[in-house]
Amino acid sequence: MVLPTVALVGRPNVGKSTLFNRIAEERISIVEDTPGVTRDRIYTHAQWLGKEFSLIDTGGITVSDLSLNQEIKTQAEIAINEADIVVLVVDARVGVTNEDEAVARILYQAQKPVVLAANKADNLAQRQDIYDFYALGLGEPYPVSGVHGTGMGDLLDQIIKNFPDENLVVDDDSIKFSFIGRPNVGKSSLVNAILGENRVIVSNQEGTTRDSIDTKFIDRDSGQLYTMIDTAGIRKRGKVYENTEKYAVMRALRAIDRSDVVVVVLDGAQGIREQDKRVAGYAHEAGRGVIIAVNKWDAVSNKDQKTMQEFTEYIRQEFRYLSYAPIIFISALKHQRLDQIVELVTAINENQQRRIQSSLLNELLLKATAIAPAPIVKNRRLKVYYLTQVQVQPPTFVVFVNDPELFHFSYERFITNQLREVFDFTGTPIKLIPRLRK
């Protein structure tokens, strides 16, 4: 599903990050019990009235060698390039400034929906004294308080009114997978290598992700249609001097949202970097299937029989939250083990859509609780009554218990591991939702 993207822009100290945290509060509260899920504050998922969207805080994008005005302009241009809707954040206590007018002029010419948020309107007088912002030419200003949360409903109502028409999104029955990773890890080379003699290219077309190319191909052997998303096309646009790493992350996010399976590409010769963990963590949180592909394995020097096992242990240590993701060692240059990519994509896509009968789930639950009885938390024993599957992509299960607060993450992990031992969920995350039995 392609999510609309909303970007917050504005001069420094208007409270963009506070608004960002306020809008995304529920989604940010996701907790991983294992270390390693790296989040960059400039992006997240959020939702309002059942509509999900990607949220970008351009306050996290800075270019140190530029003047303040140029930096503000840079952020606005990045938002224009990447977002479907732009929220211009101004300070209701200060009023209109020259910097506000400069950003407004850029946005006015962008021909994209703009919503004007007058932040820091913390009391009634400040909420009423916002009429000067009409002079920006961007329509009605919405007084809000990122600190106290007042006015957020009206602002979010206006934002979702500007979402693209869902009926205009054209989908197909192909299996969609993308390559994500740092620049120069070999993503484009992998795309070209996979499109070998045994694949029939259907079309190349620009994707929803800016500067990405969707390549549709049919596997000759199976007849299955695939859409391969290449996110390698990250380049400077005109006078936009973007922070390359964070700009690349934004590109990867949109590709992940459109994918059934994500291939995290690592450079075998260089090892793991922070950005690798950042985008992989997002794929995990988005519930996508994940493959870890170590490219350029042919360039790794001094290999012996233990090198691959040692590198696997290194990956498992750095990506603890991706313990379910298969690891493959490949070479786009030498065409080594590339056939495993499409095979794994197909298998993981099936695992993502796997449904398990409730009778089988509760038989598993009965055996699991016999092996490891439910724990006692705060002098109360957890009682697990029933397990049922409610969703696929990713497989999601509701666990009916006597008190959801007693459902400790360690017992959640135990039940998840039991599910993986009995059923094939290779490559896909599993979500467990504790719910009070009424």
375 known member of a binding site:
no
223 known member of a binding site:
no
112 known member of a binding site:
no
- For 274, the token pair is 């922070």
183 known member of a binding site:
yes
213 known member of a binding site:
no
61 known member of a binding site:
yes
10 known member of a binding site:
yes
13 known member of a binding site:
yes
Phi/psi region, residue 79 (left: phi>0; alpha: psi -120 to 50; beta: rest), is: alpha
22 known member of a binding site:
no
214 known member of a binding site:
no
122 known member of a binding site:
yes
Q: To which residue do tokens 């990867």 refer?
A: 252
14 known member of a binding site:
yes
Contact 88, 58 (CB under 8 A): no
Q: Rounded CA gap, 187 and 342, in Å?
A: 15
Residue type for position 300: V
181 known member of a binding site:
yes
- For 114, the token pair is 């703009």
CA 107, 254, 21: angle at the middle one, nearest 5?
Answer: 65
182 known member of a binding site:
yes
Identify which of 91, 123, 89, 74 has the alpha carbon closest to the alpha carbon of residue 21: 89
Contact 201, 215 (CB under 8 A): yes
121 known member of a binding site:
yes
230 known member of a binding site:
yes
231 known member of a binding site:
yes
Identify which of 49, 43, 53 has the alpha carbon closest to the alpha carbon of residue 21: 43
296 known member of a binding site:
yes
297 known member of a binding site:
yes
12 known member of a binding site:
yes
37 known member of a binding site:
no
185 known member of a binding site:
yes
120 known member of a binding site:
yes
60 known member of a binding site:
yes
DSSP string, 43-92: EEEEEETTEEEEEEEGGG---TTS-HHHHHHHHHHHHHHH-SEEEEEEET
CA 321, 283, 191: angle at the middle one, nearest 5?
Answer: 120
- For 190, the token pair is 């992998």
325 known member of a binding site:
no
232 known member of a binding site:
yes
**Helix%, strand%, coil% for the chain, nearest 5:** 35, 25, 40
Q: How many CA atoms lie within 13 A of 11 on its CB side?
A: 18
DSSP string, 76-137: HHHHHHH-SEEEEEEETTT---HHHHHHHHHHHTTTS-EEEEEE---SHHHHH--GGGGGGS
298 known member of a binding site:
yes
Q: To which residue do tokens 């390559």 refer?
A: 179
- For 80, the token pair is 């224009």
302 known member of a binding site:
no
- For 225, the token pair is 């249609």
16 known member of a binding site:
yes
402 known member of a binding site:
no
Which residues fall in the annotated binding site? 10-17, 57-61, 119-122, 181-188, 230-234, 295-298
Which residues fall in the annotated binding site for GTP? 10-17, 57-61, 119-122, 181-188, 230-234, 295-298
